[in-house]
Amino acid sequence: MISIKSAREVELMRQSCQLAAKTLNYIETKLEVGMSTEDVNTLCHEFIINNGATPSPLNYHGFPKSVCTSLNNVICHGIPNKKDILKDGDLLNIDVTTYYKNFHGDTNRTFYIGEVSEELKKLTQVTYKCMMEGIKICRPGARLGDVGAIIQEIAQDHGYSVVREYCGHGIGREFHEDPQVLHYGQKGTGVELVPGMTFTIEPMINLGQRYCKVLKDGWTVVTKDKKPSAQFEHTILITDDGYDILTLDPDGKQEPTI
């Protein structure tokens, strides 16, 4: 069942989404070569708790940390730890979900650590474009297949691949709700979008092939060919005449720092 949010629910959800975005803004100012992904987790956890919310991932189906930190060839669900030390030239995705006033807000960004190669900058920028162009498709009457089709087209036009095993999702009172939001597909197919729907668009774009595997920890997903992957994510609302990005940067920046 797809949950259609009331105006009151949307405003409460917006508060959680804005806190998630603020958490990413905060951690961006702290990132530096030599810190560990465990440090990233601790800082995000404390920021979320200090703002009266709780981190949704913590203990979710057994996930042991408060955020996901996916480094270089990690596609998603990377577990923060003391051994993963940030190095010059790394790509780091930080995925934040906050639970505030009974609603979840979910967003992620890929950050540059130090001086990053032009190859990785292009991958990151194209991944961001994939997300934004997918969002721009959203309006009442459009279909989720339209969203997936434009993302797949942009990625493949640049020689990249789209991860198919993981996708966006409905969100609200529950962390993961219906519908699933695939980042590939055919125009004119899939669930029709209607006002009040809230879901994430979060394409995972690989420099190499799309194939992935899960490590022995049961969470960390990596590229099979060990090539880098990038990701961006927003939570959006379908409005009467289009869309609203609930996790849009509260400080007014339209573009990520890439």
Domain spans, the chain: 7-245
Distance from C-alpha of 35 to C-alpha of 87, rounded to nearest angstrom: 9
pTM above 0.85, yes or no: yes
Whether 160 has a pLDDT exceeding 60, the answer reads: yes
Tell whether omega for the bond before 179 is within 30 degrees of 0, i.e. cis: yes
Distance from C-alpha of 180 to C-alpha of 129, rounded to nearest angstrom: 21
Residue-level pLDDT at 251 = 76
Residue-level pLDDT at 250 = 78
Whether 140 has a pLDDT exceeding 90, the answer reads: yes
The CATH architecture annotation of domain 7-245 reads Alpha-Beta Complex (3.90)
Counting every residue written for the chain, the total comes to 258
Whether 212 has a pLDDT exceeding 70, the answer reads: yes
Spatial CA neighbour of 208 closest among 226, 233, 194, 190: 226
Distance from C-alpha of 49 to C-alpha of 170, rounded to nearest angstrom: 24
Q: Tell me the pLDDT band of 252, cut-offs 50, 70 and 90.
A: low
Mean pLDDT, residues 84-99: 98
Distance from C-alpha of 161 to C-alpha of 254, rounded to nearest angstrom: 25
Structure tokens at 95: 């995925």
Residue-level pLDDT at 51 = 98
Mean pLDDT, residues 224-239: 98
For 54-91, how does the pLDDT look when each residue is reduced to its tens digit (9 = 90+)? 999 999 999 999 999 999 999 999 999 999 999 999 99
Structure tokens at 203: 């394409």
Whether 256 has a pLDDT exceeding 70, the answer reads: no
Q: Which amino acid is at 197?
A: M
Mean pLDDT, residues 6-29: 97
